[in-house]
Homo-oligomer: A and B are copies of this chain.
């Protein structure tokens, strides 16, 4: 009996986040009114604020959640031998996600907001640090096993891979003909040439 309530609360909270994600992706954070989010969840306009103290907290929570998902992904990825393969697989997932226009738009929106709002910047910054740390770990371990060129500067390389990830999402917004699903091969070429031990 005591367990049901928190569960419902969490479910409702998640419903808000999901609705907000869809809205923000389509109209942008500042173009989406809280009323629209409420309508999308099927909630009265005031009720939203029982779950989040203000609109900013909603993106905040979205950013945190995306960070956790990324972290979980890398946690699962860690337990394998082919670390270069893991990296490629990560980029495969990025391309898959970029195939969802909403996801890509939201990623862009979040980056843009991070450029302005310190509280968002802090969370995005943390997520980004964790992403790069995971990439660095992968590159280090892969280097130790001879799967990746050990002479590369690890931190800089991770940074450019991260840039590539951002860039893929950006492409979606900017080039309507860009179809991520057609780019797995070119991505492999690029990564392979860049990262593989040089002859």
Interface residues of A (CB under 8 A from B): 26-28, 30-31, 101, 104-105, 108-109, 111-116, 121, 124-125, 128-129, 132, 152-153, 156-157, 159-160, 162-168, 170-176, 178, 183, 186-187, 189-190, 193-194, 198-199
Contacts and interface: CB of A to CB of B under 8 A. Distances in A.
A136 to B, nearest CB: 13
Contact of A116 (B28, B153, B162, B183): B28
A174 B112 contact: no
28 contacts: A27-B116, A28-B113, A28-B116, A30-B31, A105-B112, A105-B116, A108-B115, A109-B112, A109-B115, A112-B112, A114-B173, A125-B174, A125-B176, A156-B186, A159-B171, A160-B187, A162-B167, A162-B171, A163-B164, A163-B170, A164-B164, A166-B170, A167-B170, A170-B170, A189-B194, A190-B194, A193-B194, A193-B198
Nearest to A125: B176
Nearest to A183: B156
Given A28-B112, A112-B108, A186 B157 contact: yes
Copies in the complex: 4
A121 B114 CA distance: 22
A106 to B, nearest CB: 9
B171 A166 contact: yes
A190 B190 CA distance: 9
A115 B31 CA distance: 13
B159 A128 contact: no
Contact of A159 (B115, B156, B162, B175): B175
Contacts of A178: 159
Contacts of A101: 115
